[in-house]
Structure 1
Amino acid sequence: MNKTIFSFFVFFTICQLSAQDYYSALRNKYWIYEENDQKAFHYLNIYISRAKKEKNYAELFQAYDDAIRYSPNKKIEYADSAISAAKLSGNSDLIGSSYISKGAVYYFTYRKFQPALNEYLKAYEYTKNTDDEFLKYQNLYHIGVVKSYLGYYEEALQLFKSCNVYFKSKIKANIHPNLIKNHQKGYLNCLHQMIVCYQQQGNYTESEKLIKEGLDALPKDPFFNLEKSYFYKSEAITEFNKKSYQNSIRIFNKALPEFIKINDYTFASVIYYYRGSAYDELKNTEKALSDYKKVDSIFNKYQFILPELRNNYEKLITFYRNKNQPKEELYYTKQLLKADSIISTDFKYLSNRIHRDYDTKSLLEAQSNLEKTNSFGKFLLIFSFVVILVLILFLAYWLRKKKEIQIKYEELLEKISSKNTKIKENADLNKLTEKNSKIEIKTVQLLKSKFSDFEKNNGFLEKGITAGKLAIEFGTNATYISQFMNEYQGCNFNTYINKLRIDYATEKIYNNKLWQKYSVEDIALACGFSNRQSFSNLFYEQNGIRPADFLKKRKEEIRLKRVS
């Protein structure tokens, strides 16, 4: 039964991995296409069909989310499908991501700030506590864009800066190449939005630094052509403000084709306005009027205009007033009033919602976190006190232990220097025959001689040695050896062997530089012990100090002698 369950688990795992590889392979095939390229749908439709069939709602969400990028005219429909799939998955991160995607469609494709902000605020509820940092910062970036549009440049800058730090930190992370690209886009877009804020504040020094950083960081990949155009556009505006009009026109011309290609009419209209103004300064009225009228054409078609472009109509009105052409003057006056109406309506709605549903909520959440922090404060204080007390006690114990080890080490050195233990033991053996014994004198003399040779030849180092084995070697029996040990050594055979081994290890550690490089385990094995622990315990029992501490102190002593 267990074998069957295991086999099923292995089969299921392989199927899951195969499915993931299949979806990844499909993504890699269409990811090479540029935005709005419908050739991607050859693979996307297969992706969507398979995910539906398998009821794999996470992958279905991914397919619809990717479809938004490649669809030229059904972005909102695919965004709604992505939301539905995300909700079916039950994954809060996917739901938050789907609302961000829909908000991005409203902003980037249609420049409808009101519905875009609505989606971002929905996403905020799902992403504010997420563990997915990319998702959280992606939504904060979009909210920053709305703040920038409203003219809250300092507040927007703070959001963009925090997002920029995050995205930049992930560019060289060990993650999927597609995720690397997403983080690179996030980083570059944050730089661009920061540049916009600085330019609106008149801080061209900071904006120039960021333009250079952006252009230097751009990968040589068509995937980032739009970002390249953002930086060219920003660089051209800087040149315009430096009154380098010819140069600004040249750079605007480099930026414009990409905006036209993907129908980014917002920044196309920015270029037309500034390029027209540059022509105006160069007294090329014909080209200036042509560009100003292109801004109006975009406004007519999409009913959108940035507040900074309002002056476009002031210039057209002034031109036709000076030319005494009331019909054209009236037309552009009406256009200006219409633009003001749209801008004011947008501002009123967005200002109210960004304050009520984002700023206020953020402050309340921050207040709640502070209150939790304060309620936790007393516990943290007590906990810190306990930790400090434990550390003090541990330090006191460590110092006392260190002092004890030093004392024991010095006592052992005194013992080593004052007596040659091995000579003493042999001298004691010479007196053995003078004692009253139950063993025949002849046997005692034999054992005395054998044990003397045994000690001289370090026979005690043999691993697994026993009284029985030694009796055979000595030509006697184990009973005599045990009795000999009890009468003349005052201990049993094992204690005798262990004492010799510990004395041997002590002498080697003290005098032999090679042994000082050994580990305690190596020394234990070399002295015939079967394991480190029993050796360490016996060494401590006999010498009052652990072998590890004795090794350490001996090495320190030698090192200090060399220094002095």
Structure 2
Amino acid sequence: MAQNKRKDKILDSLKKLSYKEIYSSQLKFENKPSIAIIYSQAYLEKGKEENDTIRIANAYTQFILLLDFDIGVRYADSIINLTGKIKHKLYPGDGYLLKGTLLYYLGNYSASLENLLIAQKYADINNNEKQLLTVKEAIGQLKSISGNFLESLAISKEILDIIQKRNDTDDYKEDYLRTLNNLSLNYLSLNEPDSALTIINKGILKSLEFKDTLSYYDFVANSGVGMYLKKEYDKANDSLDKAFPFDEDQNSRINYYLYKGRIARNTGDIENAIVNFERLDSIYELHQDPVRELPEVYWTFVNYYREKGDTQSQLKYIDKLLTADSVIDANFNYLNTNIAKEYDIPQLTAEKDELIRSLQTKKAQSNNGIVILSLLFLLFGGLFFYYYRKQRIYKRKFGYLMQEGKIADAKAKSANQRINGISEELIRRIVDGLKAFEQKNEFLDPSITLNSLSKKLHTNSNYLSKVINHYEQKNFSNYINDLRIDYTVEQLKTNKQFRLYSVKGIAEEVGFNSTESFSKAFFKRTGIYPSYFIRQLRKQQA
């Protein structure tokens, strides 16, 4: 109850600020969602109290940028429902753009395309160049997924040209590296390894210059594919293996096993090829996202088991081949047909209209209008890019958790063990008691309190609190929560049975009274949510 009153007091205080002030403060905590959400909540409540539809929609957008994709889709629907009947520069176009972007990252490409095309229509109506550019990149990605690499390449080149002309923007470095990556992938897909490697080498140098480790290893992985296409298999294996520990997402894993399998097959090591293709197949079985190379992989299995005389396995993979072929045909034919019908042809018409518009005199806009639109574009611009960046940050933090034995804490470094009012002998006794408490995992007891632990250690709560504050650099509540989260991370990494529990089950298992408090403590400790960590572990296990 006291916590709720404190939260209400904070919200009331924040609502006294202007919308711009609230949003600016929220941006400062972009990488700390638990804090940023408080500002977004204040923005939302202020908008509701003033019955301001646009401000409410703005708040929903802020929530989407802070929450998981599946939850974000529901907020995008709320934006669409709220603003569907109004005329605005951004809405409801941004609602559809957000939904299309979220669905893209969730792997629902057909639904993504449908929403992106609706967003494009609103962007055309409102002459919203920022929305049109974002839709353009998303369509380019979908074209690549559907196999139209030449057209995707043209879009990437166009976007790169735009980015280079805007090299003073805050997002320039990451946008630039991502677009170079897209260009190299398209060249590789077009079987032009020399052109791809030229772009890749530029990307490697720039990622080192920008100190972007994840982008660096993306380019290293791409160079492995380029070397494979040039039939320099030793170099290809070296690059693929070098990048593998840093590629945690399922697409990167699939790509790794695909090319490791192809290299093994092409060099006559069919047994190793089968091992890698089996790992690729297990990832597909887990996620069921369409993979264009599946027919090739399954044909390899069919031929392998035909030579072995294993009819049962041969039939198994023939069945998988036919199923995969129909799934791929349904997904990618849909994309090819609808992109051409609803995006490419209208684009030609739009280009004609743009030429006509460019010959007309542009109407002067008021300085005030320009400032307002600039702020709005800052708020909503680059949504597609944001999710890419968010996933990369989460991937990086997941990698840290997998590489480190335990999460590092900023402990007191002073050799001086003195704490005012407590003898050194008592301090040592309390510290030894805490070590035993940690080693026996007694912090998992949900009923543990400062008072109960102090009695167990034969001291009082005041002394115990001071020792924890001094040596752990945190209060008792955070000390217990961090111990529980460290234990959870270790169990999830080493105990397969533990990964089968729901998030709620894990929370109860490690002593939390609610799923919400567990998720918040996990994010505060690790920078990612437990649901994301578990998903990544399962992908890695595959």
In structure 2, what is the equivalent of residue 216 of structure 1? 205
- Contact 2:153/2:186 (8 A) holds in 1: yes
Comparing 357-366 with 282-291, greater Cα deviation is found at 282-291
Q: Distance in 2 between matches of 1:294 and 1:66?
A: 38
Alignment of 1:206 with 2:195, yes or no, is yes
Structure 2 counterparts to residues 499-538 of structure 1, below 5 A? none
- Contact 1:68/1:74 (8 A) holds in 2: yes
Q: Distance in 2 between matches of 1:171 and 1:100?
A: 24
1:231–1:19 CA distance, 2 compared to 1 (3 A): same
Q: Distance in 2 between matches of 1:128 and 1:121?
A: 10
Larger RCO, structures 1/2 (Cα 8 Å, 6+ apart): 2
Structure 2 counterparts to residues 9-88 of structure 1, below 5 A? 18-29=18-29, 31-32=30-31, 40-55=33-48, 60-61=56-57, 63-68=59-64, 70-72=66-68, 73-84=70-81
- Matched residue count: 344
TM superposition shift of 1:25: 1.8
Structure 2 counterparts to residues 479-494 of structure 1, below 5 A? none
Alignment of 1:234 with 2:184, yes or no, is no
Choose which of 230, 240, 243 in structure 2 pairs with 1:255: 243
Gaps of 5+ in 2: 1-13, 362-542
TM superposition shift of 1:346: 1.8
Choose which of 152, 155, 159 in structure 1 pairs with 2:151: 155
Alignment of 1:351 with 2:348, yes or no, is no
Choose which of 84, 109, 118 in structure 1 pairs with 2:106: 109
In structure 1, what is the equivalent of residue 307 of structure 2? 322
In structure 2, what is the equivalent of residue 363 of structure 1? 348
- Residue type of the partner of 1:236? G
> Which string of whole-angstrom CA distances, capped at 9 and with x for unpartnered residues, describes residues 82-115 of structure 1?
54566598533253333222222222222x2211
- Residue type of the partner of 2:241? N
Structure 2 counterparts to residues 371-520 of structure 1, below 5 A? none
Bigger fraction of residues in helix: 1
- Residue type of the partner of 1:322? E
> Which string of whole-angstrom CA distances, capped at 9 and with x for unpartnered residues, describes residues 481-527 of structure 1?
xxxxxxxxxxxxxxxxxxxxxxxxxxxxxxxxxxxxxxxxxxxxxxx
- Residue type of the partner of 2:148? Y
CA RMSD of aligned residues (A): 3.3
> Which string of whole-angstrom CA distances, capped at 9 and with x for unpartnered residues, describes residues 224-278 of structure 1?
5554443232111012223333432333234344542xxx323321222112222
- Residue type of the partner of 1:170? R
In structure 1, what is the equivalent of residue 456 of structure 2? none
Q: Distance in 1 between matches of 2:216 and 2:80?
A: 31
Alignment of 1:243 with 2:239, yes or no, is no
1:66–1:326 CA distance, 2 compared to 1 (3 A): farther
Comparing 85-94 with 321-330, greater Cα deviation is found at 85-94
Q: Distance in 1 between matches of 2:16 and 2:336?
A: 47
In structure 2, what is the equivalent of residue 280 of structure 1? 265
Q: Distance in 2 between matches of 1:232 and 1:92?
A: 41
1:270–1:354 CA distance, 2 compared to 1 (3 A): same
Choose which of 341, 344, 347 in structure 1 pairs with 2:326: 341
Q: Distance in 2 between matches of 1:53 and 1:168?
A: 39
- Contact 2:194/2:226 (8 A) holds in 1: no
SS at 1:128 equivalent: helix
TM superposition shift of 1:132: 5.0
- Contact 1:240/1:248 (8 A) holds in 2: yes
- Residue type of the partner of 2:223? E
In structure 1, what is the equivalent of residue 185 of structure 2? 196
Structure 2 counterparts to residues 301-320 of structure 1, below 5 A? 301-320=286-305
Q: Distance in 1 between matches of 2:320 and 2:219?
A: 30
Q: Distance in 2 between matches of 1:219 and 1:32?
A: 23
Choose which of 134, 137, 145 in structure 2 pairs with 1:138: 134
Q: Distance in 2 between matches of 1:103 and 1:316?
A: 36
- Contact 1:130/1:136 (8 A) holds in 2: no
- Contact 1:107/1:116 (8 A) holds in 2: yes
- Contact 2:220/2:243 (8 A) holds in 1: yes
Compute the TM-score of the two structures, normalised by the length of structure 2.
0.56
SS at 2:90 equivalent: helix
- Residue type of the partner of 2:239? I
Q: Distance in 2 between matches of 1:219 and 1:119?
A: 37
TM superposition shift of 1:341: 0.4
TM superposition shift of 1:328: 1.6
1:373–1:142 CA distance, 2 compared to 1 (3 A): closer
TM superposition shift of 1:130: 5.3
Q: Distance in 1 between matches of 2:54 and 2:213?
A: 30
1:216–1:309 CA distance, 2 compared to 1 (3 A): farther
- Contact 1:246/1:278 (8 A) holds in 2: no
TM superposition shift of 1:125: 0.9
Q: Distance in 2 between matches of 1:313 and 1:336?
A: 6
- Residue type of the partner of 2:276? D
1:348–1:166 CA distance, 2 compared to 1 (3 A): same
- Contact 1:313/1:335 (8 A) holds in 2: yes
In structure 2, what is the equivalent of residue 451 of structure 1? none
Q: Distance in 1 between matches of 2:140 and 2:216?
A: 21
> Which string of whole-angstrom CA distances, capped at 9 and with x for unpartnered residues, describes residues 341-382 of structure 1?
0111123322221122112222233445567789x89xxxxx
- Residue type of the partner of 1:162? E
- Contact 1:199/1:207 (8 A) holds in 2: yes
1:86–1:172 CA distance, 2 compared to 1 (3 A): farther
1:231–1:363 CA distance, 2 compared to 1 (3 A): same
In structure 2, what is the equivalent of residue 99 of structure 1? 96
SS at 1:213 equivalent: helix
TM superposition shift of 1:81: 3.8
In structure 2, what is the equivalent of residue 292 of structure 1? 277
In structure 2, what is the equivalent of residue 10 of structure 1? none
In structure 2, what is the equivalent of residue 491 of structure 1? none
- Residue type of the partner of 1:32? N
Compute the TM-score of the two structures, normalised by the length of structure 1.
0.54
SS at 2:74 equivalent: helix
Percent of paired sites with the same residue: 23
1:20–1:372 CA distance, 2 compared to 1 (3 A): closer
- Contact 2:47/2:56 (8 A) holds in 1: no
- Contact 1:57/1:88 (8 A) holds in 2: no
1:81–1:267 CA distance, 2 compared to 1 (3 A): farther
TM superposition shift of 1:336: 1.2
- Contact 1:245/1:279 (8 A) holds in 2: no
- Contact 2:220/2:240 (8 A) holds in 1: yes
Greater Rg over alpha carbons, structure:
1
- Residue type of the partner of 2:299? E
1:19–1:88 CA distance, 2 compared to 1 (3 A): farther
TM superposition shift of 1:215: 2.2
> Which string of whole-angstrom CA distances, capped at 9 and with x for unpartnered residues, describes residues 18-43 of structure 1?
442332222221x236xxxxxx2343
